[in-house]
C-alpha cells in the first residue's frame, strides 16, 4: 500500500504536490487549534467547579481575646469575645464556650485577636504555685506560733487544725475556740528536724526560733484571726484524720489565778492605814510655829531643801 502511495505521489505534478502539502498543513493546524482550544476550556472550568465549594465553607464560633491578657491573669468575661472562623483553620484545643474560659488563669500572654486554646489556660491550678493551693473564697494568712502553740511541729501542710485564743490578765486566763476545722497551708516547723537539732546540741536555738503557720481563711475569719493575734496568744490544735466531733465541748474556759486573791487583797492594807497617814499632815501645817523658837527645821521646796 505504501508503494502504491509513493507511485501516486510520483505521478503528481509539482503544483499538485504543493496543493497537497498546503492542505495537509491546514488540516494539522486545525487539529492542533481544536486540541488547544479544548484544553483551555477545561482549565477555565476548574474555578467554576471549585467556586461553589468555597461559598459553602463551614464556620464556627470560638472564644477570642478582645485585649492583651498577661500571663497568670484570671480571665474575665470582659476580656473575651465570640467570633466566627472557618472550621478548617481552627487551632488545636480551641475553646468554644466562654464559661470554660472565664475564671481560669492564663498560662502565657494571650494577645488581642488570638483564639483562646486549652494550652493557653492553667486548668490545673496547682501549677500556679502556692497561690493555686488556696481554696476559692479564701485568703492565706500567717500567724506566729511556737513549738508549744504550733503542736510541736507535728502539724503538716494539708492538715486541719482548730485555732484557740488565750487571753491573760491579772485575774487569770481565758481560752476559747476562735476557729474550727481550718486548712493549714504551711508551717515552717518540723518535729523531726527539731529533734535532730536537739541531738546536735542546738536545743536552746530550736526553742528560741519562732515558727509561722499559714492558714486558709475566709475574709471574715481572716479579720477575726488578725485581731485576736493582737490581743492574745494563738494556739493550734491538730485535728485527727476525718474528725467527727461528738458530744458537747466548751467554747470558752476561764481559770482564775491562784495569785488573784493576793493581788486583790494587797491594796486592802494600805487603804486601812491611809487615814492614819492622812491625819499626820494635819498638824504639820501648824507645826512650824513651835520649832521657830527652839530648833531649826527644813522646808522642802520642789527639789530644794531650805534649812531654817
- Do 14 and 111 lie in one domain? The reply is no
**Which of 95, 127, 159 is at the close of a domain?**
127
Residue 286 pLDDT greater than 90, yes or no: no
- The arithmetic mean of pLDDT across residues 139-144, rounded, is 90
**Confidence label for 161 from pLDDT (cuts 50, 70 and 90):** very high
- Please give the residue that has the higher pLDDT: either 3 or 103: 103
Residue 137: per-residue pLDDT: 86
Q: Indicate which CATH number applies to the domain containing 87.
A: 3.90.1210.10
- Does some domain include residue 160? yes
Lowest mean pLDDT among 47-56, 95-104, 206-215: 47-56
- Report the percentage of the chain scoring pLDDT > 90: 22
Encode pLDDT of 43-71 as tens digits.
555 555 455 545 578 889 999 999 999 88
Mean pLDDT of 7-26: 76
Residue 192 sits in the same domain as residue 87:
no
* pLDDT at residue 185, rounded to an integer: 87
Reported as a pLDDT band with limits 50, 70 and 90, residue 200 is: low
Q: Which pLDDT band holds residue 171 (cuts at 50, 70, 90)?
A: confident
Query: Between these two residues, 121 and 290, which has the higher pLDDT value?
Result: 121
| Whether 160 and 245 share a structural domain | yes
**What is the pLDDT confidence band of residue 163, given thresholds at 50, 70 and 90?**
very high
Higher confidence at residue 246 or residue 275? 246
* Residue 151 belongs to some domain of the structure: yes
Determine the pLDDT at residue 274.
40
The verdict on 89 and 103 lying in the same domain is: yes
How many whole angstroms separate alpha carbon 77 and alpha carbon 80?
6
Question: What value does the mean pLDDT take over residues 219-240?
Answer: 92
Q: Tell me which of 127, 143, 174 is where a domain ends.
A: 127
The single residue listed with the C-alpha cell 495537509 is 24
Within this chain, do residues 178 and 241 fall inside the same structural domain, yes or no?
A: yes
**Which residue would you say has higher pLDDT here, 246 or 305?**
246
Quick one: which of 151, 143, 134 has its CA closest to 178? 143
Distance between CA atoms of residues 91 and 252, nearest Å:
61
Q: Is the pLDDT of residue 225 over 80?
A: yes
Q: Are residues 168 and 190 in the same domain?
A: yes
Query: Lowest mean pLDDT: which of 73-87, 209-223, 272-286?
Result: 272-286
CB of 148 within 8 A of CB of 233? no
User: What does pLDDT average to over the chain?
Assistant: 75
pTM here is: 0.45
Check whether residue 28 and residue 118 sit in a common domain: no
265 domain residue, yes or no:
no
Choose among 198, 218, 199: nearest CA to 208.
198
- Of 119, 118, 105, 109, the closest CA to residue 67 belongs to 109
- Together in a domain, 159 and 248: yes
Which pLDDT belongs to residue 36?
Answer: 81
Q: What is the pLDDT of residue 221?
A: 92
- Parent domain of 251: 134-256
pLDDT score at 42: 62
Domains in the chain, number: 3
Domain assignment present for residue 43? The answer is: yes
Distance between CA atoms of residues 48 and 250, nearest Å: 88
Amino acid at each position: 500500500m505504501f508503494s502504491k502511495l509513493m507511485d501516486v505521489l510520483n505521478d503528481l505534478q509539482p503544483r499538485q504536490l504543493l496543493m497537497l502539502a498546503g492542505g495537509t498543513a491546514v488540516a494539522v493546524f486545525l487539529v492542533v487549534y481544536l486540541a488547544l482550544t479544548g484544553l483551555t476550556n477545561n482549565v477555565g472550568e476548574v474555578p467554576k467547579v471549585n467556586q461553589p465549594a468555597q461559598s459553602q465553607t463551614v464556620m464556627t464560633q470560638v472564644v477570642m481575646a478582645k485585649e492583651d491578657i498577661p500571663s497568670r491573669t484570671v480571665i474575665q468575661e470582659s476580656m473575651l469575645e465570640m467570633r466566627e472562623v472557618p472550621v478548617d483553620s481552627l487551632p488545636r484545643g480551641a475553646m468554644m464556650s466562654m464559661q470554660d474560659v472565664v475564671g481560669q488563669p492564663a498560662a502565657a500572654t494571650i494577645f488581642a485577636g488570638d483564639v483562646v486554646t486549652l494550652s493557653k489556660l492553667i486548668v490545673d491550678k496547682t501549677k500556679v504555685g502556692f497561690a493555686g493551693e488556696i481554696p476559692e473564697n479564701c485568703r492565706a494568712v500567717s500567724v506566729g506560733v511556737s513549738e508549744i502553740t504550733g503542736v510541736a511541729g507535728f502539724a503538716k501542710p494539708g492538715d486541719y487544725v482548730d485555732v484557740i485564743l488565750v487571753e491573760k490578765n491579772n485575774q487569770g486566763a481565758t481560752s476559747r475556740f476562735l476557729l474550727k476545722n481550718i486548712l493549714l497551708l504551711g508551717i515552717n516547723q518540723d518535729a523531726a528536724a527539731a529533734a535532730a537539732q536537739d541531738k546536735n546540741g542546738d536545743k536552746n536555738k530550736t526553742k528560741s526560733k519562732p515558727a509561722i503557720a499559714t492558714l486558709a481563711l475566709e475574709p471574715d475569719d481572716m479579720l477575726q484571726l488578725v485581731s485576736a493575734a493582737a490581743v492574745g496568744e494563738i494556739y493550734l490544735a491538730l485535728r485527727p484524720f476525718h474528725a467527727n466531733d461528738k458530744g458537747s465541748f466548751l467554747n470558752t474556759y476561764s481559770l482564775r489565778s491562784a495569785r488573784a486573791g493576793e493581788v486583790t487583797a494587797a491594796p486592802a492594807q494600805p487603804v486601812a492605814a491611809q487615814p492614819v497617814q492622812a491625819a499626820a499632815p494635819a498638824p504639820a501645817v501648824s507645826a512650824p510655829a513651835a520649832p521657830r523658837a527652839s530648833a531649826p527645821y527644813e522646808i522642802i521646796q520642789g527639789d530644794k531643801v531650805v534649812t531654817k
